[in-house]
Amino acid sequence: MKRFAPLFAAAAALAALCSSCTSINHPETTAMTIHDFTVKGRNGTSLDLATLKGKVLLVVNTATGCGFTPQYEGLEKLYAKHHAAGLEILDFPCDQFGHQAPGSDDEIHAFCALKYNTSFDQLARIEVNGPGADPIYVFLKAARPKDDATDEAIAGLRDLLKKHNLAGAEAPGDIEWNFTKFLIDKDGNVVKRFHPTTTPEEIDAEIAKLL
């Protein structure tokens, strides 16, 4: 057995090395948290989400010309109520759904600030579905493939979109539409995924539990 000892030692070392590897391109295969990502901010800035450890996060894909856009008012109320206790809102504008987020990042920010008096910032516009989906949304969808909503609510939105010839989710796990919301705990774990029809007011208690 002694002659095999070096082989066993080499195999153990290789296993230890592989266990420490992570890939931002395939987050579903590793024990990652949202804190492993860096996202793009407005004007070429970046935000390392590791700096938000210990915070509760609400991640939302938004649009300025959507029927759900008035939810910005509720999001701002959540932020005003819970920010001091540790809530951060990560607002990702997305133009994939009906092209309802036109304009530059700065124009989107100005709209939110003027129309809804938002005090949380907007990040750079991204894609959330398909081959161009931002890595953070690949991670979020893998962690929570389905909205925490009734089948009736999900079917109702899909029927409405179909009626207006609008395309939402096309593959399993896809984001259904604008204003899908992900709730993240202080350790960076995805706790819940809320349907676009679930209002910010309806998730207030869920946020409070994590603070």
Whether 160 is in a domain gets the answer yes
Beta bridge partners of 106: none
| Residues identified as active-site | 66
137 belongs to a structural domain: yes
Q: How far apart are CA 129 and CA 95, in angstroms?
A: 11
Return d(Cα 72, Cα 86) in angstroms, integer. 19
**Residue 148 domain-assigned (yes or no):** yes
| Residue 27 counted as domain residue | no
- Round to whole Å and give the CA distance between 60 and 79: 13
Q: Give bridge partners of residue 64 from the DSSP assignment.
A: none
| CA distance linking residue 169 with residue 96, whole number of Å | 10
Give, for all 211 residues of the chain, the pLDDT tens digit: 444 344 334 444 434 433 333 334 444 445 699 999 999 998 889 999 999 999 999 999 999 999 999 999 999 999 999 999 999 999 999 999 999 999 899 999 999 999 999 999 999 999 999 999 999 999 999 999 999 888 888 888 888 888 888 888 888 899 999 999 999 999 999 999 999 999 999 999 999 999 9
The C-alpha angle with vertex 206 and arms to 179 and 31, in degrees rounded to 5, equals 80
Q: What is the pTM of this model?
A: 0.84
Give the pLDDT of residue 110. Answer: 94
CATH code at position 118: 3.40.30.10
Q: Report if residue 185 sits inside a domain.
A: yes
Residues 6+ apart with CB under 8 A from 29: 23
Going from the C-alpha of 188 to that of each of 4, 61, 121, 209, the distances in angstroms are: 42, 18, 20, 15
From CA 85, how far away is CA 98, in angstroms rounded? 36
Domain ranges, residue 121 = 32-210
The CB density around residue 125, as the number of other CB atoms within 10 Å, is 22
In whole angstroms, what is the distance from residue 140 CA to residue 143 CA? Answer: 5
101 within domain boundaries: yes
Number of H helices, E strands in the chain: 6, 6
Number of domains into which the chain is organized = 1
Q: Is residue 5 part of a domain?
A: no
Instruction: Read off the tokens for 98.
Output: 């009906």
Instruction: Decide: 193 and 72 in contact? Cβ < 8 Å.
Output: no
End-to-end CA distance of the chain: 55
- Which of 102, 108, 99, 101 minimizes the C-alpha distance to 167? 99
Residue 10 lies in a domain: no
